[in-house]
Chain A
Amino acid sequence: MKLIDGYPQYMLDSIKKVEDKRMENIGKSIEPLTMEERQAVLSQFHPDFMDSSKRAVKVGVDKGNESYNGIVDLLESPSILDTSEVDLTKIDFDVDMLIIGGGGAGTVAALFALENGVPLDKILITTKLRHGDANSMMAQGGIQAADRPEDSPPIHYLDIYGGGHFTNKPELAKAMAMDAPGIIKWHEELGVMYDRHDNGEFQELSGGGTSRNRMHSAKDYTGMELMRNIRDRSRNLDIPVLEFCPIVELLLDDQGIVSGGVAFNIETHEYYVIRAKATIMATGGSGRLHLAGYPTTNHYGATGDGLVMAYHVGANLRDLDTIQIHPTGDIYPDPVIGILSTEKIRGLGAKPINVNGDPFVFPLEPRDVESAAFLKECDKGNGITTPTGMPGIWLDSPMIDIIHGEGTVYEKLAGEVRKFRRFGIDMAKHPILVYPTYHYQNGGVEINEKCETAVPGLYAAGEVTGGVHGKNRLMGNSLLDYNVFGRRAGIYAAEYVKTRTVGKLSLAHIDEYNKAVEEAGLKSGVKAPILLPEYRGKEALARALDIL
């Protein structure tokens, strides 16, 4: 197939219509949907509202509660760990604080635990891949904090709460809004290079569902810039990190208190017993479970391990009957399917446009509503079909240079420009094609404002948790979430370890869970947590022998 500027001729024909109406479309304003209209489009087109997406779990503390099928599949599976192979009398690491996950939440927790008196050699971060391999690194658009005179933490709170459809835990939404300015201050002190005006004030944009411009950004590499700084801090302090060693199950002591975990070295296949006075779950999200069959923006390691491990020790989960699909996942060309095109593109003024060159939705609805509107437009036959049969919506990125001046796209969206340039597309000249993609796990392990879970000894922070965002997260609140709650987890867990004594370690809860799964007659065919998604070619897998 011959491509011109990265597109086949038939797609360029549609682009021509987009170009012809571009000036008119920039001036044309589509009103945001009313609450009733939002509800109507959500219930018809969002996977959260489809019975086929989810079911009630038949085992464990949340028995009877609905979650997405892909998550229930894991909860209804036996453990990946054969407890008879683990000798708990030999302790490999004896620490005050085990932090499971080396992304944003885990690293921030470690920094604040250290600052709050936990000795350096008594902290251990374990991570499945490398330190910093996490969704935190990938967030592009920005981080919210109400620091402008025309904004305030209470206004931010209202945005969080309404965006979450009034299902958030109020104390968690409050923590987010109130801690946010202090977090940005901390970043300033670390040396984060935020986008600023000449007078030093931040350049702040609006995001979907936010009533004030409060999105702080670092070009379109905001997550990367934050994670680089936080990780550099951690490395300068020599905080111990065990890479390529995911925790596969948590340990309890004879009082039923979480007391560390069993790590699995995924390169040598050894296990390590880690005893800890406090354990912080910071394993991130679950995009790689491809819930409801969506492609994902998520990191390779985002397989929901933390949900499974926490559930095995009796921690309850919440709001996993919803997922965040992000309206602007890439859908063309094929190698970028599922990768995110940042919300900042719409924040800067680019509008979603259909095959006929017409706008059809307010560009900055909350993500779930915007996604549903895209799905509806494609369902009406107004999508653009890719050469491999996928429908998509134009995101008219060239509008940005018309609104803000030539060169804005290259300057503000360097990462996006680079991504498309690799495939011959210049997004300053031509629109890009997008379609909803699985972006964020709204719910997870329920916590309180101290990051305590329902099980003593177990704290949690970041995407693995539930309650902060309720059933829908707003843009710019995930980077904020991992900072706010990573910090809180580090501080409160540091307090907890001062009085904690650990009893005899046990994995009996895993045997009991396995038994419960068996007794319920559940046969998912997998073992959980899964640790890595399976992307090997079917032909190669079909011929695999289990010899070595």
Chain B
Amino acid sequence: MSTEANNEAARQANAADTPEVSIVNIFVMGKRYQVPAGLTIMAAIEYAGYQLIRACGCRAGFCGACSTVYRKDDEQKLHFALACQTTVEDGMYLVQIPFVPASKAKYMIEDLKAEENTILSMYPEIARCVSCNTCTKSCPQDIKVMMYIQNALRGDIAKAAELSFDCIQCGMCAMRCPADIKHYHVGQLARRLRGKYIDTQSQDLKKRVAEVEGGQYDKEIEELVGMSEEQLRGLYNKREIEAKKKKKEGE
């Protein structure tokens, strides 16, 4: 693959230079720009000449920095998307949300217990949920946000944790909620409570930590550290590969 063709900037330029690529109109905070079709919203805004500081993060759908609100000029519906994961369409009126003000409860997880009212006591506003489902509709991850808030309200921490697991904490739910709930913080608390108190802890791990602390591997590891590269290569090449062994056993 040629070096040129690879980086993102070059890709944008290629898209523009190739005659068959069609051009679409987008409106960045109301200003019209013509950009090549096929770009993500993020790449299109950059193509138009903006250097992003806010509203740009991992560029791969994990960080929640680039939540974008748009409406198409012929539509009623307001859309919510991640700018790095959504392709531009003609007639999009775009705004990126630079920051979400959403107060977070302060707690030390070791001081809490995973009880029915734990979440409610930290975030009492979840009792104000009117089940309008606007949070769910505004989630770019398609998470059932209202459902997990309802589970949190009922004290089903494990379910609230499971349903909220894919949350990237972009905060669009909290921005849209008529009851001022900070959903993504609620989900965070639910997951930590579940991970710490509800899921069964590993006995193998506990045992291994005690073995390491008790010095059980000190001698063996020091021998390895002291070995020549040749000795290590010998050992390395003779390793038994578990994944391969299992395959041979027909697993």
Interfacial residues, chain A to chain B (CB-CB below 8 A): 29, 32, 35, 129-130, 132-133, 135, 137-138, 145-150, 152-155, 157-159, 161-162, 166, 170-171, 174, 177-178, 181-182, 184-185, 188-194, 196, 198-202, 206, 211-213, 218-219, 221, 223-225, 228-229, 232-233, 235-236, 238, 244, 266-267, 290, 292-295, 297, 299-300, 334-335, 337-340, 364, 378, 388-391, 414-415, 418-419, 422-423, 435, 532-541, 544
Q: Given A133-B65, A536-B46, are A212 and B242 also a contact pair (CB < 8 Å)?
A: yes
- Chain B residues with Cβ below 8 Å from A189 are 110, 196
Q: Given A221-B165, A335-B87, A537-B48, are A162 and B3 also a contact pair (CB < 8 Å)?
A: no
Please tell me if the beta carbons of A171 and B50 are within 8 angstroms of each other in the complex. no
Nearest A residue to B62 by beta-carbon distance?
Answer: A138
Please tell me if the beta carbons of B195 and A541 are within 8 angstroms of each other in the complex. no
Distance A152 CA – B217 CA, assembled complex (angstroms):
8
> Is the C-beta of B25 less than 8 angstroms from some C-beta in chain A?
no
Q: Which residue in B13, B108, B188, B202 is a CB contact (below 8 Å) of A147?
A: B202
Shortest distance in angstroms between B119's beta carbon and chain A's nearest beta carbon? Answer: 13
Shortest distance in angstroms between B210's beta carbon and chain A's nearest beta carbon? Answer: 9
Q: Which residue in A148, A161, A178, A193 is a CB contact (below 8 Å) of B217?
A: A178
> Is the C-beta of B249 less than 8 angstroms from some C-beta in chain A?
no
Distance A147 CA – B117 CA, assembled complex (angstroms):
35
Please tell me if the beta carbons of B46 and A170 are within 8 angstroms of each other in the complex. no
Give the 8 A-B residue pairs with the shortest CB-CB distance, closest first.
A293-B3, A540-B49, A200-B200, A191-B192, A191-B195, A191-B196, A162-B236, A537-B47
Distance A161 CA – B107 CA, assembled complex (angstroms):
41
Distance A192 CA – B198 CA, assembled complex (angstroms):
11
- Chain B residues with Cβ below 8 Å from A415 are 61-62, 166
Please tell me if the beta carbons of A236 and B5 are within 8 angstroms of each other in the complex. no
Shortest distance in angstroms between A419's beta carbon and chain B's nearest beta carbon? Answer: 6
- Chain A residues with Cβ below 8 Å from B109 are 190-191, 233, 236
Nearest B residue to A214 by beta-carbon distance?
Answer: B242
Shortest distance in angstroms between B61's beta carbon and chain A's nearest beta carbon? Answer: 6
> Is the C-beta of B142 less than 8 angstroms from some C-beta in chain A?
yes
Question: Would you mind naming 18 contact pairs between A and B with Cβ atoms under 8 Å apart?
Answer: A129-B53, A153-B217, A162-B232, A178-B217, A181-B208, A184-B205, A206-B242, A213-B243, A221-B165, A290-B7, A295-B6, A297-B60, A300-B58, A339-B59, A435-B1, A535-B12, A535-B51, A539-B16
Please tell me if the beta carbons of B192 and A229 are within 8 angstroms of each other in the complex. yes
Q: Which residue in A147, A158, A159, A221 is a CB contact (below 8 Å) of B205?
A: A147
- Chain A residues with Cβ below 8 Å from B16 are 537-539
Please tell me if the beta carbons of B8 and A338 are within 8 angstroms of each other in the complex. yes
> Is the C-beta of B57 less than 8 angstroms from some C-beta in chain A?
yes
- Chain B residues with Cβ below 8 Å from A228 are 169, 188, 191
Please tell me if the beta carbons of B6 and A290 are within 8 angstroms of each other in the complex. yes
Q: Which residue in A32, A133, A236 is a CB contact (below 8 Å) of B241?
A: A32
Shortest distance in angstroms between A118's beta carbon and chain B's nearest beta carbon? Answer: 18
Please tell me if the beta carbons of A267 and B53 are within 8 angstroms of each other in the complex. yes
Q: Which residue in B59, B194, B212 is a CB contact (below 8 Å) of A299?
A: B59
> Is the C-beta of B151 less than 8 angstroms from some C-beta in chain A?
no
Of the stretches B69-77, B129-137, B219-227, the one at the interface is B219-227
Distance A538 CA – B243 CA, assembled complex (angstroms):
49
Please tell me if the beta carbons of B13 and A538 are within 8 angstroms of each other in the complex. yes
Nearest A residue to B17 by beta-carbon distance?
Answer: A538
Please tell me if the beta carbons of A192 and B195 are within 8 angstroms of each other in the complex. yes
- Chain B residues with Cβ below 8 Å from A147 are 202, 204-205, 208-209
Shortest distance in angstroms between A514's beta carbon and chain B's nearest beta carbon? Answer: 25
> Is the C-beta of B31 less than 8 angstroms from some C-beta in chain A?
no
Q: Given A153-B221, A154-B220, are A133 and B199 also a contact pair (CB < 8 Å)?
A: no
- Chain A residues with Cβ below 8 Å from B166 are 219, 221, 414-415, 418
Q: Given A157-B221, A166-B232, are A541 and B204 also a contact pair (CB < 8 Å)?
A: no
Q: Which residue in A171, A267, A537 is a CB contact (below 8 Å) of B225?
A: A171
Distance A534 CA – B14 CA, assembled complex (angstroms):
16
Shortest distance in angstroms between B187's beta carbon and chain A's nearest beta carbon? Answer: 9
With A391-B1, A537-B12 already in contact, 13 other A-B pairs whose C-beta atoms are closer than 8 Å: A32-B244, A166-B229, A174-B224, A193-B165, A201-B203, A202-B204, A206-B242, A213-B243, A219-B166, A225-B191, A340-B60, A535-B51, A537-B46
Distance A146 CA – B202 CA, assembled complex (angstroms):
13
Please tell me if the beta carbons of A540 and B48 are within 8 angstroms of each other in the complex. yes
Distance A241 CA – B124 CA, assembled complex (angstroms):
28
Please tell me if the beta carbons of A137 and B212 are within 8 angstroms of each other in the complex. no
- Chain A residues with Cβ below 8 Å from B213 are 182
- Chain B residues with Cβ below 8 Å from A419 are 61, 85
- Chain B residues with Cβ below 8 Å from A221 are 62, 165-166
Q: Given A229-B192, A536-B50, are A129 and B5 also a contact pair (CB < 8 Å)?
A: no
- Chain A residues with Cβ below 8 Å from B217 are 152-154, 178
Please tell me if the beta carbons of A266 and B53 are within 8 angstroms of each other in the complex. yes
Please tell me if the beta carbons of A137 and B9 are within 8 angstroms of each other in the complex. no
Interfacial residues, chain B to chain A (CB-CB below 8 A): 1-9, 11-16, 38-40, 43, 46-54, 56-63, 65, 85-87, 104, 106-110, 141-142, 161, 165-166, 168-169, 188, 191-197, 199-206, 208-209, 212-213, 217, 220-221, 224-225, 229, 232-233, 235-237, 239-244, 247
Nearest A residue to B82 by beta-carbon distance?
Answer: A422
Q: Which residue in B2, B58, B221, B239 is a CB contact (below 8 Å) of A174?
A: B221
Please tell me if the beta carbons of A190 and B49 are within 8 angstroms of each other in the complex. no
- Chain B residues with Cβ below 8 Å from A130 are 57, 63, 65
Distance A181 CA – B61 CA, assembled complex (angstroms):
30
Shortest distance in angstroms between B192's beta carbon and chain A's nearest beta carbon? Answer: 3
Q: Which residue in A138, A145, A199, A202 is a CB contact (below 8 Å) of B60?
A: A138
Please tell me if the beta carbons of A188 and B60 are within 8 angstroms of each other in the complex. no
Distance A406 CA – B25 CA, assembled complex (angstroms):
42
Nearest B residue to A153 by beta-carbon distance?
Answer: B217
Q: Given A32-B244, A212-B242, A535-B43, are A300 and B229 also a contact pair (CB < 8 Å)?
A: no
Distance A130 CA – B64 CA, assembled complex (angstroms):
11
Q: Which residue in A181, A193, A536 is a CB contact (below 8 Å) of B194?
A: A193
Shortest distance in angstroms between B241's beta carbon and chain A's nearest beta carbon? Answer: 5
Nearest B residue to A163 by beta-carbon distance?
Answer: B236
Please tell me if the beta carbons of B51 and A536 are within 8 angstroms of each other in the complex. yes
- Chain A residues with Cβ below 8 Å from B192 are 190-191, 229, 232
Q: Given A292-B3, A335-B85, are A300 and B56 also a contact pair (CB < 8 Å)?
A: yes
- Chain B residues with Cβ below 8 Å from A32 are 241, 244
Please tell me if the beta carbons of B241 and A188 are within 8 angstroms of each other in the complex. no
Shortest distance in angstroms between B38's beta carbon and chain A's nearest beta carbon? Answer: 6
Nearest B residue to A337 by beta-carbon distance?
Answer: B11
Please tell me if the beta carbons of A150 and B242 are within 8 angstroms of each other in the complex. yes
- Chain A residues with Cβ below 8 Å from B9 are 533-536, 538
Please tell me if the beta carbons of B206 and A535 are within 8 angstroms of each other in the complex. no
Please tell me if the beta carbons of B232 and A206 are within 8 angstroms of each other in the complex. no
- Chain A residues with Cβ below 8 Å from B224 are 154, 157-158, 161, 170, 174
- Chain B residues with Cβ below 8 Å from A390 are 1, 5
Please tell me if the beta carbons of B191 and A224 are within 8 angstroms of each other in the complex. no
Distance A340 CA – B208 CA, assembled complex (angstroms):
32
Please tell me if the beta carbons of B63 and A133 are within 8 angstroms of each other in the complex. yes
